[in-house]
Chain A
Amino acid sequence: MADEALFQFLHSELIQYIYKSGGSGETENGKRVTKLETMGFRVGQGLIERFTKETPRFKDELDIMKFICKDFWTCLFKKQIDNLRTNHQGIYVLQDNSFRLLSQLSAGKQYLEHAPKYLAFTCGLVRGGLSDLGVKSVVTAEVAGMPACKTLWQGCS
C-alpha cells in the first residue's frame, strides 16, 4: 500500500537525521538508538489509544501478546507476526520473517551492523503500545539474517 511506502521513507529519513551528527562511539550510538526508541514509544502509546477505543478488556498477558502479534502488527505492517514463543514466565519472542522495515536493506547478512537502527523505533512502538495497555516491559530485537527479525519482550513487574 502506498501509505506504507510513505511511512518507510519517513522512518528512513528519521534514522538519517538522528545519525547524521558526528561521533561513532558506542555511547553515541547507544544514545541515538535510545532517541529512536523513545520516539517509537510515544507513537506506540498514541496508536494503541486510538486502536483499542472499542476493544474489550484483555483477559491476561498472553491475550495482550496475541493482540500485539495479530491486530497491532497488522495495523503497523500489514501482516501478522509469524511466530510467537514464550517461556510462560514473562518472556515472549515475536518472530517476523520478512520485517517490512528491513526488506529494503538487504536479503541476507549484508549491512547486518545497521539493522539495530532500523529496529529501535519499532521496539519503542511495541513498548509504548504495551505500556498503554498497562504492561511495563523491556523490548529488544535481534537480526540473524535480513529481513527476518526477532523481538524479545520481557515483562517487568
Chain B
Amino acid sequence: MLFYHHGYASGACVCVCICCVFKSCCRLCLQNSELFTLTYGALVTQLCKDYENDEEVNKQLDKMGYNIGVRLIEDFLARSSVGRCQDFRETADVIAKVAFKMYLGVTPSVTNWSPAGDEFSLILESNPLVDFVELPDNHNALIYSNLLCGVLRGALEMVQMAVDVRFAQDTLRGDNVTELRMKFIKRIEENLPAGDE
C-alpha cells in the first residue's frame, strides 16, 4: 500500500489519501466516480476547516445532502422507469438495487427489517465515498459520508415520505461494513396552495 500525503497548504491534513497498488485499477478503469469521490473529500476537508467541531460538519453535510437529494430524485425518476412504489419494502429495493447502483455503482443489501416493517438497514460492503480516505485521530465524531443521509432524506421527501436516516456502522470508524439505518416516519400529505377550496 502506498500512502500519499497530499500536501495541503495549511499543513493540517484532514484526509490522508491511500493509493493501493494491488487494487485492480488501471488507467482505463478511472471512473468519473473518482472525480466525485475526490471532490467530496475536498468538500469535507473544507468543512472541517470552516467549522470547529465535527457535529457542525455532520449537520452541514446532511443539509447539503438534502439539497442534492431534492433535485436528484427528479434525475432518478427521469432515468429509471421505476413507477410508484406500493410500500416501504418496495422503496427499499428500489433504493438499493436501482438508485445506489445507478449513482454509486454499488448494490447494498437490504436487511434487518423491524417487525413493524417500518425500518431497515442498507449494508454496504464497500462505500465508494471513502475509497481514498482515512480519518485522523482528532475527528472521532465525524460522520464522513453523512451527505448520503441527507440525499436519501431529501429525495424521499419529494415523493411524500418522511424518513430518518443514520449511519449505524461505518468502515471508517473501524466497523466491518457500512450500515445505513432507514426508518419510515410518516407519509407527507401534499399541500394544496392557499386559497384552494
Contact surface of A with B, Cβ cutoff 8 Å: 1-7, 9-11, 13-14, 16-17, 35, 38-40, 42-43, 45-47, 49-55, 75-76, 78, 121
Least CB distance, B6 to chain A, in whole angstroms: 6
Q: Report yes or no: B103 in contact with A3, Cβ–Cβ below 8 A.
A: yes
Interchain CB contact (< 8 A) of A45 among B6, B31, B35, B132: B6
- How large, as a class, is the contact surface on chain B? 35 or more
**A-B pair number, CB within 8 angstroms:** 92
Residue of A whose beta carbon sits closest to that of B69? A9
B9 partner residues in chain A, CB cutoff 8 A: 38
Interchain CB contact (< 8 A) of A49 among B4, B8, B31, B41: B4
Least CB distance, B22 to chain A, in whole angstroms: 12
B71-79, B83-91, B171-179, B181-189 - the one binding chain A:
B71-79
Q: Is B25 an interface residue when CB atoms closer than 8 A count as contact?
A: yes
Contact surface of B with A, Cβ cutoff 8 Å: 4, 6, 8-9, 17, 19, 25-27, 30-36, 38-43, 46, 60, 64, 67-68, 71-72, 75, 79, 102-105, 132
Q: Report yes or no: A46 in contact with B132, Cβ–Cβ below 8 A.
A: yes
A10-B43, A14-B43, A49-B19 known; A3+B38 contact, CB < 8 A: no
B79 partner residues in chain A, CB cutoff 8 A: 2
B35 partner residues in chain A, CB cutoff 8 A: 7, 43, 47, 75-76
Residue of B whose beta carbon sits closest to that of A5? B75
Residue of A whose beta carbon sits closest to that of B29? A50
Least CB distance, A74 to chain B, in whole angstroms: 10
Least CB distance, A20 to chain B, in whole angstroms: 11
